[in-house]
Protein backbone atom coordinates (compact mmCIF):
# COMPACT_ATOMS: atom_id res chain seq x y z
CA UNK A 1 0.00 0.00 0.00
CA UNK A 2 2.80 2.41 0.91
CA UNK A 3 4.63 1.58 -2.33
CA UNK A 4 1.56 2.52 -4.38
CA UNK A 5 1.23 5.82 -2.48
CA UNK A 6 4.90 6.62 -3.07
CA UNK A 7 4.58 5.98 -6.80
CA UNK A 8 1.47 8.16 -7.01
CA UNK A 9 3.29 10.95 -5.23
CA UNK A 10 6.17 10.75 -7.69
CA UNK A 11 3.91 10.93 -10.72
CA UNK A 12 1.59 13.66 -9.42
CA UNK A 13 1.54 16.69 -11.72
CA UNK A 14 2.39 19.92 -9.90
CA UNK A 15 0.10 22.86 -10.60
CA UNK A 16 1.24 26.40 -11.47
CA UNK A 17 -0.53 29.35 -13.04
CA UNK A 18 -0.42 33.03 -13.90
CA UNK A 19 -3.02 35.13 -12.06
CA UNK A 20 -4.29 38.49 -13.26
CA UNK A 21 -7.17 40.48 -14.70
CA UNK A 22 -7.27 40.41 -17.69
CA UNK A 23 -5.21 37.28 -18.26
CA UNK A 24 -6.29 35.85 -21.62
CA UNK A 25 -3.40 37.50 -23.48
CA UNK A 26 -0.67 36.04 -21.26
CA UNK A 27 2.05 34.05 -23.00
CA UNK A 28 3.25 32.54 -19.72
CA UNK A 29 1.50 29.16 -20.23
CA UNK A 30 3.27 28.75 -23.58
CA UNK A 31 6.62 29.69 -22.10
CA UNK A 32 6.39 27.43 -19.06
CA UNK A 33 5.07 24.49 -21.08
CA UNK A 34 8.21 24.69 -23.19
CA UNK A 35 10.43 25.04 -20.12
CA UNK A 36 8.78 21.97 -18.55
CA UNK A 37 9.21 19.86 -21.69
CA UNK A 38 12.82 20.96 -22.06
CA UNK A 39 13.73 20.14 -18.44
CA UNK A 40 11.43 17.09 -18.14
CA UNK A 41 9.51 18.60 -15.23
CA UNK A 42 6.09 17.14 -14.43
CA UNK A 43 3.92 20.23 -14.13
CA UNK A 44 0.81 21.90 -15.51
CA UNK A 45 0.71 25.67 -16.00
CA UNK A 46 -2.57 27.50 -16.64
CA UNK A 47 -4.16 30.94 -16.69
CA UNK A 48 -5.98 31.81 -13.46
CA UNK A 49 -8.37 34.76 -13.84
CA UNK A 50 -9.30 36.56 -10.63
CA UNK A 51 -12.02 39.14 -9.99
CA UNK A 52 -10.62 42.58 -9.23
CA UNK A 53 -11.89 42.22 -5.67
CA UNK A 54 -11.13 38.51 -5.40
CA UNK A 55 -7.35 38.06 -5.51
CA UNK A 56 -7.01 36.66 -1.99
CA UNK A 57 -9.89 34.21 -2.34
CA UNK A 58 -8.61 33.01 -5.72
CA UNK A 59 -5.09 32.42 -4.38
CA UNK A 60 -6.41 30.62 -1.30
CA UNK A 61 -8.52 28.34 -3.50
CA UNK A 62 -5.53 27.58 -5.71
CA UNK A 63 -3.39 26.70 -2.69
CA UNK A 64 -6.12 24.47 -1.21
CA UNK A 65 -6.29 22.58 -4.50
CA UNK A 66 -2.57 21.82 -4.23
CA UNK A 67 -1.12 24.67 -6.31
CA UNK A 68 2.64 25.06 -5.96
CA UNK A 69 3.25 28.54 -7.36
CA UNK A 70 1.88 31.56 -9.19
CA UNK A 71 3.12 34.25 -11.49
CA UNK A 72 1.31 37.48 -10.67
CA UNK A 73 0.50 40.14 -13.25
CA UNK A 74 -1.54 43.35 -13.26
CA UNK A 75 -3.26 44.53 -11.19
CA UNK A 76 -2.33 42.22 -8.31
CA UNK A 77 1.42 42.65 -7.72
CA UNK A 78 0.92 44.89 -4.69
CA UNK A 79 -1.67 42.52 -3.19
CA UNK A 80 0.74 39.64 -3.72
CA UNK A 81 3.41 41.63 -1.88
CA UNK A 82 1.07 42.10 1.08
CA UNK A 83 0.03 38.43 1.04
CA UNK A 84 3.51 36.88 1.02
CA UNK A 85 4.73 35.61 4.38
CA UNK A 86 8.38 35.75 3.28
CA UNK A 87 9.92 38.22 0.83
CA UNK A 88 13.17 38.11 -1.12
CA UNK A 89 15.42 41.16 -1.00
CA UNK A 90 14.49 42.15 -4.56
CA UNK A 91 10.78 41.85 -3.76
CA UNK A 92 11.19 44.09 -0.71
CA UNK A 93 13.10 46.64 -2.80
CA UNK A 94 10.45 46.62 -5.52
CA UNK A 95 7.54 46.76 -3.10
CA UNK A 96 5.78 44.36 -5.47
CA UNK A 97 5.68 40.60 -6.11
CA UNK A 98 5.34 38.85 -9.46
CA UNK A 99 6.15 35.31 -8.27
CA UNK A 100 4.69 33.32 -5.37
CA UNK A 101 5.97 29.94 -4.19
CA UNK A 102 3.85 27.88 -1.80
CA UNK A 103 5.70 25.57 0.56
CA UNK A 104 3.62 24.23 3.42
CA UNK A 105 2.23 27.25 5.23
CA UNK A 106 4.84 29.61 3.79
CA UNK A 107 4.18 31.92 0.83
CA UNK A 108 7.47 33.15 -0.60
CA UNK A 109 7.18 36.34 -2.63
CA UNK A 110 9.78 37.28 -5.23
CA UNK A 111 10.15 39.78 -8.04
CA UNK A 112 11.93 38.41 -11.11
CA UNK A 113 11.34 41.36 -13.46
CA UNK A 114 14.68 43.03 -12.82
CA UNK A 115 16.67 39.83 -13.25
CA UNK A 116 14.81 39.24 -16.51
CA UNK A 117 15.70 42.71 -17.77
CA UNK A 118 19.36 42.52 -16.77
CA UNK A 119 19.80 39.04 -18.24
CA UNK A 120 18.28 40.10 -21.54
CA UNK A 121 20.52 43.16 -21.79
CA UNK A 122 23.78 41.64 -20.58
CA UNK A 123 23.59 38.08 -21.88
CA UNK A 124 21.20 38.17 -24.82
CA UNK A 125 21.97 41.64 -26.20
CA UNK A 126 25.62 41.37 -25.16
CA UNK A 127 25.74 44.87 -23.65
CA UNK A 128 27.43 45.37 -20.30
CA UNK A 129 25.77 47.60 -17.71
CA UNK A 130 28.85 47.91 -15.51
CA UNK A 131 30.38 51.42 -15.58
CA UNK A 132 27.68 52.64 -17.99
CA UNK A 133 25.33 55.60 -17.59
CA UNK A 134 21.77 54.26 -17.41
CA UNK A 135 18.52 56.21 -17.73
CA UNK A 136 15.30 54.64 -16.44
CA UNK A 137 12.13 56.35 -17.67
CA UNK A 138 9.22 56.11 -15.23
CA UNK A 139 8.89 55.71 -11.47
CA UNK A 140 5.97 53.28 -11.20
CA UNK A 141 5.86 49.60 -10.37
CA UNK A 142 7.71 48.51 -13.51
CA UNK A 143 10.61 50.80 -12.64
CA UNK A 144 10.69 49.80 -8.95
CA UNK A 145 11.01 46.16 -9.93
CA UNK A 146 14.25 46.64 -11.87
CA UNK A 147 16.23 49.20 -9.88
CA UNK A 148 17.98 46.83 -7.45
CA UNK A 149 19.14 44.36 -10.16
CA UNK A 150 20.31 47.28 -12.32
CA UNK A 151 22.32 48.73 -9.43
CA UNK A 152 23.72 45.27 -8.79
CA UNK A 153 25.44 45.48 -12.18
CA UNK A 154 27.48 48.47 -10.91
CA UNK A 155 26.58 51.15 -13.46
CA UNK A 156 28.47 54.43 -13.25
CA UNK A 157 25.10 56.05 -12.52
CA UNK A 158 21.42 55.24 -12.71
CA UNK A 159 19.10 58.19 -13.34
CA UNK A 160 15.37 57.72 -12.80
CA UNK A 161 13.30 60.30 -14.67
CA UNK A 162 9.56 60.76 -14.28
CA UNK A 163 6.93 63.27 -15.37
CA UNK A 164 6.57 64.43 -11.77
CA UNK A 165 9.61 64.91 -9.57
CA UNK A 166 7.68 64.00 -6.41
CA UNK A 167 7.03 60.43 -7.54
CA UNK A 168 10.65 59.97 -8.54
CA UNK A 169 11.73 61.26 -5.12
CA UNK A 170 9.42 58.77 -3.41
CA UNK A 171 11.15 56.03 -5.37
CA UNK A 172 14.61 57.38 -4.56
CA UNK A 173 13.81 57.28 -0.85
CA UNK A 174 13.33 53.52 -1.15
CA UNK A 175 16.95 53.31 -2.29
CA UNK A 176 18.44 56.10 -0.17
CA UNK A 177 21.58 54.06 0.54
CA UNK A 178 22.44 53.88 -3.18
CA UNK A 179 24.73 56.82 -4.09
CA UNK A 180 24.72 55.98 -7.81
CA UNK A 181 20.94 56.54 -8.02
CA UNK A 182 19.72 60.00 -9.04
CA UNK A 183 16.25 61.30 -9.89
CA UNK A 184 14.89 64.09 -12.06
CA UNK A 185 11.90 65.13 -14.15
CA UNK A 186 11.67 64.04 -17.79
CA UNK A 187 11.81 67.64 -18.94
CA UNK A 188 15.19 68.14 -17.22
CA UNK A 189 17.01 65.49 -19.23
CA UNK A 190 19.87 66.87 -21.31
CA UNK A 191 22.68 64.29 -21.03
CA UNK A 192 23.41 61.41 -23.37
CA UNK A 193 23.21 57.92 -21.85
CA UNK A 194 24.67 54.54 -22.73
CA UNK A 195 21.41 52.72 -21.93
CA UNK A 196 17.88 54.18 -21.90
CA UNK A 197 15.10 51.95 -20.52
CA UNK A 198 11.45 52.84 -21.04
CA UNK A 199 9.44 51.65 -18.01
CA UNK A 200 6.53 54.02 -18.66
CA UNK A 201 3.15 52.99 -20.04
CA UNK A 202 3.51 55.34 -23.04
CA UNK A 203 3.99 52.48 -25.51
CA UNK A 204 0.57 51.08 -24.63
CA UNK A 205 -0.89 54.20 -26.22
CA UNK A 206 1.67 54.22 -29.07
CA UNK A 207 3.23 57.35 -27.58
CA UNK A 208 6.78 58.45 -26.80
CA UNK A 209 7.66 59.76 -23.32
CA UNK A 210 8.35 63.52 -23.50
CA UNK A 211 12.14 63.32 -23.57
CA UNK A 212 14.86 65.13 -25.45
CA UNK A 213 16.45 63.17 -28.33
CA UNK A 214 19.77 64.20 -26.79
CA UNK A 215 19.51 61.26 -24.38
CA UNK A 216 20.38 58.99 -27.33
CA UNK A 217 23.85 58.58 -28.79
CA UNK A 218 25.12 56.48 -31.69
CA UNK A 219 25.83 53.49 -29.42
CA UNK A 220 22.95 53.95 -26.97
CA UNK A 221 20.78 50.91 -26.26
CA UNK A 222 17.14 52.04 -26.19
CA UNK A 223 15.20 49.30 -24.38
CA UNK A 224 11.41 49.26 -24.20
CA UNK A 225 9.89 46.91 -21.61
CA UNK A 226 6.87 46.58 -23.89
CA UNK A 227 6.95 44.30 -26.92
CA UNK A 228 4.88 43.56 -29.98
CA UNK A 229 4.94 42.47 -33.58
CA UNK A 230 6.16 45.90 -34.66
CA UNK A 231 8.65 48.25 -32.97
CA UNK A 232 7.08 50.53 -30.38
CA UNK A 233 6.85 54.30 -30.82
CA UNK A 234 9.70 54.69 -28.32
CA UNK A 235 11.88 52.31 -30.30
CA UNK A 236 11.16 54.10 -33.58
CA UNK A 237 11.93 57.48 -31.98
CA UNK A 238 15.21 56.17 -30.56
CA UNK A 239 16.31 54.65 -33.88
CA UNK A 240 15.56 57.94 -35.66
CA UNK A 241 18.14 59.50 -33.37
CA UNK A 242 20.83 56.90 -33.88
CA UNK A 243 20.20 54.49 -31.03
CA UNK A 244 20.06 50.69 -31.07
CA UNK A 245 16.52 49.60 -30.15
CA UNK A 246 15.34 46.43 -28.40
CA UNK A 247 11.92 45.46 -27.04
CA UNK A 248 10.98 43.58 -23.87
CA UNK A 249 10.18 40.12 -25.25
CA UNK A 250 13.49 38.79 -23.97
CA UNK A 251 12.76 40.25 -20.54
CA UNK A 252 9.43 38.38 -20.52
CA UNK A 253 11.13 35.07 -21.25
CA UNK A 254 14.01 35.62 -18.84
CA UNK A 255 11.84 36.65 -15.90
CA UNK A 256 9.76 33.52 -16.53
CA UNK A 257 12.93 31.41 -16.48
CA UNK A 258 13.88 32.94 -13.13
CA UNK A 259 10.43 32.07 -11.73
CA UNK A 260 10.77 28.53 -13.09
CA UNK A 261 14.15 28.18 -11.38
CA UNK A 262 12.71 29.44 -8.08
CA UNK A 263 9.95 26.83 -8.23
CA UNK A 264 11.77 23.83 -9.66
CA UNK A 265 15.47 24.34 -8.92
CA UNK A 266 16.24 23.85 -12.62
CA UNK A 267 17.26 26.69 -14.93
CA UNK A 268 15.81 26.30 -18.45
CA UNK A 269 17.48 27.43 -21.65
CA UNK A 270 15.71 30.47 -23.07
CA UNK A 271 17.10 31.07 -26.56
CA UNK A 272 14.85 28.63 -28.43
CA UNK A 273 11.75 29.75 -26.52
CA UNK A 274 12.53 33.39 -27.28
CA UNK A 275 13.04 32.64 -30.98
CA UNK A 276 9.76 30.74 -31.19
CA UNK A 277 7.80 33.51 -29.50
CA UNK A 278 9.38 36.13 -31.74
CA UNK A 279 8.43 34.19 -34.84
CA UNK A 280 4.84 33.81 -33.66
CA UNK A 281 4.24 37.49 -32.81
Residue 227 annotated as part of some ligand binding site: yes
Is 138 annotated in a binding site? The answer is: yes
Is 98:78 a contact under the CB 8 Å cutoff? no
Q: Residue 165, annotated ligand binder?
A: yes
Q: Is 47 annotated as a binding residue?
A: no
- For 87-164, where are the alpha helices, taking DSSP H only? 89-94, 113-119, 141-152
Report the C-alpha gap between 34 and 163 in whole angstroms. Answer: 39
Asked whether the beta carbons of 98 and 110 are under 8 A apart, the reply is yes
- Any known ligand binding at 24? no
113 is known to lie in a ligand binding site: yes
Cα separation of 135 and 199, whole Å? 10
89 labeled binding residue = yes
163 in a labelled binding site = yes
Question: What's the CA gap between 268 and 39, in Å, rounded?
Answer: 7
Helices 165-174 and 141-152, interaxial angle, to 10°?
Answer: 50
Please identify every residue annotated as catalytic. Answer: 77
* Binding-site annotation, residues for shikimate: 26-28, 73, 98, 113, 227, 255
* Binding-site annotation, residues: 26-28, 73, 89, 98, 113, 138-142, 162-167, 225, 227, 248, 255
* Binding-site annotation, residues for NADP(+): 89, 138-142, 162-167, 225, 248
Amino acid sequence: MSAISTTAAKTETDQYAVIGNPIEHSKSPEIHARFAAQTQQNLQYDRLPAPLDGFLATVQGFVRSGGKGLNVTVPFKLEAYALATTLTERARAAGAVNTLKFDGGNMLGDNTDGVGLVTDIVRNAGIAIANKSVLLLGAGGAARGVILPLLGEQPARLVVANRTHAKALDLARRFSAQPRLKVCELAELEDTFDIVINATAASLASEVPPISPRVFGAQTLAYDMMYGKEPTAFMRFAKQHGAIARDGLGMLVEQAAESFYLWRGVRPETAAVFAELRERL
